[in-house]
């Protein structure tokens, strides 16, 4: 039953509706309102705030249970069908469930939205939909969103030379690198530093990574090639830190997480502890994260050092729901995060013809190994076994977070599940 009596005012941005609208709305229309409620968009939709937790049958519902009920009302649970012809959502859910059952993936979380319909599940050792995973390079999209909040304020332009803000960044064509090129991976900077292992082993602060990135040799003449670069994202974050006067993690917290209500996210650990986040299967980790070497235990992905560092290129934590909330700000710009024009800038290609297309922080088109997405799609993958994308052509948002490193297996279940969902789900 849809509750419509004794609706009380609430400051909770998750609970929105309009009582007189609920009385006369259809289930389909209510599900649209419900998804807006899940992302805190009721105010923009002209709805009054109400507290579902204080009305009749909803009293005992917490947020997760409320969301699941709304999903049921919007008829988006995987449908039972012929075993030989499962729906894409059935198939994706089964891939992740089977990977957990056989112990291949210790924990995973999926959040899938198409239009007003939402599907959210966790598998393996995690039991809460709000479980926080190490996002790895999905962090880049969040970091650049924080950087671009300063662009909105006129603090820099994309074609400004980096040396205007980092005067020590000179020599070997560095003077020709623009701020925009840092964000689109055409600067010539390397992905990881040659001294990466030494820095992590010594528990170096981010400032030492910045100092090393300032002088590390460029791989090619800026703007002439595409070369994926975590260090370029680090220097973009350093520009934001110097321009704003804020520690970068605080800038992200205020400009991104607080701005849109991402309650289960942090650049680094923030206010959370190591017990609050999901651990990774580090025995199969990427080379730059120790690759399972026992000597790397004090600095690998699971170490307190790395989880707390807040590396702008790969150190954010977040839940699948929070990442979906973030993507929705770009799929349907609501003005809470960035100006609409800036949102469009971030999700359009900035690289010359012949180079890999990139937005600002975002990958574009076929995200990772996900064929079937439209050219307008945007998102990112992460080496810890994470993927997220939004496709404007199908009004689809997909977030899959796992603990199994992406390079650990030839066909990662994350990729298999994401490919199944890159088509309209009926």
Q: Where are the domains of the chain?
A: 19-73, 133-146+247-420
**Band of the pLDDT at 1, cuts 50, 70, 90?**
very low
**Band of the pLDDT at 78, cuts 50, 70, 90?**
low
Region 248-256: mean pLDDT is: 98
185 and 401 Cβ atoms separated by less than 8 Å: no
Give the C-alpha separation, 414 to 403, whole Å.
10
Give the C-alpha separation, 365 to 301, whole Å.
28
pLDDT more than 70, % of the chain: 79
Region 212-224: mean pLDDT is: 98
The mean-pLDDT minimum among 12-16, 228-232, 412-416, 417-421 falls in 12-16
pLDDT exceeds 50 at position 231: yes
Give the DSSP H/E element, type plus range, for residue 259: helix 258-260
Region 200-204: mean pLDDT is: 97
pLDDT exceeds 60 at position 67: no
Strands (DSSP E) found in 208-295: 265-267
pLDDT more than 90, % of the chain: 73
pLDDT exceeds 50 at position 9: no
pLDDT in tens, 105-135: 999 999 999 988 999 999 999 999 999 999 9
Give the C-alpha separation, 252 to 88, whole Å.
35
Task: Enter the tokens of residue 415.
Answer: 């990729």
pLDDT in tens, 143-174: 999 999 999 999 999 999 999 999 999 999 99
pLDDT exceeds 70 at position 310: yes
pLDDT exceeds 50 at position 400: yes
Q: How many CA atoms lie within 13 A of 392 on its CB side?
A: 14
pLDDT exceeds 80 at position 72: no
Region 65-72: mean pLDDT is: 40
Q: How many CA atoms lie within 13 A of 347 on its CB side?
A: 24
Region 209-223: mean pLDDT is: 98
The residue ranking higher by pLDDT, 62 or 301, is 301
The pairing of beta strand 107-114 with beta strand 396-402: antiparallel
**pTM of the prediction?**
0.82
Backbone torsion region of residue 360, taken as left when φ is above 0, otherwise alpha when ψ lies between -120 and 50, otherwise beta: beta
Q: Class assignment of domain 133-146+247-420?
A: alpha beta
Angle at which helices 88-101 and 413-420 cross, to 10° = 170
Region 307-317: mean pLDDT is: 98
Give the C-alpha separation, 349 to 288, whole Å.
28
165 and 239 Cβ atoms separated by less than 8 Å: yes
């Amino acid at each position: 039953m849809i509750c419509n009596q004794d609706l009380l005012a609430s400051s909770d941005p998750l609970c929105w509706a309009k009582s007189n609208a609920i009385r006369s709305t259809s289930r389909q229309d209510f599900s649209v309102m419900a998804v807006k409620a899940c992302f805190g968009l009721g105010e923009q939709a002209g709805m009054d705030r109400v507290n579902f937790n204080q009305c009749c049958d909803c009293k005992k519902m917490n947020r997760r249970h409320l969301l699941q009920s709304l999903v049921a009302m919007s008829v988006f649970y995987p449908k039972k069908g012929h075993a030989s012809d499962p729906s894409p959502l059935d198939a994706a859910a089964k891939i992740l469930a089977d990977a957990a059952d056989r112990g291949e993936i210790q924990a995973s979380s999926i959040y899938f939205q198409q239009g007003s319909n939402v599907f959210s599940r966790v598998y393996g050792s995690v039991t809460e939909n709000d479980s926080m995973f190490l996002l790895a390079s999905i962090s880049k999209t969040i970091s650049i969103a924080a950087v671009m909040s300063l662009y909105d304020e006129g603090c820099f332009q994309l074609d400004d030379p980096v040396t205007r803000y980092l005067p020590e960044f000179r020599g070997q064509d560095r003077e020709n690198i623009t701020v925009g090129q840092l964000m689109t991976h055409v600067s010539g900077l390397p992905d990881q530093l040659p001294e990466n292992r030494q820095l992590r082993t010594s528990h170096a602060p981010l400032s030492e990574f910045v100092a090393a990135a300032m002088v590390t040799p460029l791989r090619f003449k800026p703007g002439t090639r595409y070369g994926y670069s975590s260090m370029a994202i680090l220097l973009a974050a350093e520009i934001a830190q110097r321009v704003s006067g804020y520690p970068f993690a605080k800038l992200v917290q205020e400009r991104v997480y607080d701005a849109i209500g991402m309650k289960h996210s942090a650049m680094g650990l923030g206010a959370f502890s190591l017990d609050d986040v999901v651990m990774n299967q580090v025995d199969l980790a990427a080379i730059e994260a120790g690759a399972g070497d026992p000597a790397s235990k004090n600095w690998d992905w699971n170490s307190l050092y790395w989880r707390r560092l807040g590396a702008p290129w790969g150190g954010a934590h977040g839940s699948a729901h929070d990442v979906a909330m973030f993507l929705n700000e770009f799929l349907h710009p609501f003005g809470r995060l960035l100006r609409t024009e800036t949102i469009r800038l971030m999700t359009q290609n900035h690289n010359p013809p012949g180079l890999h297309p990139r937005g600002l922080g975002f990958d574009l088109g076929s995200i990772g190994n996900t064929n079937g997405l439209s050219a307008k799609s945007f998102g990112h993958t992460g080496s810890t076994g994470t993927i997220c994308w939004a496709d404007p052509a199908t009004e689809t948002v997909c977030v899959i977070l796992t603990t199994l490193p992406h390079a650990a297996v030839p066909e990662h279940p994350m990729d298999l599940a994401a490919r199944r969902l890159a088509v309209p789900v009926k």
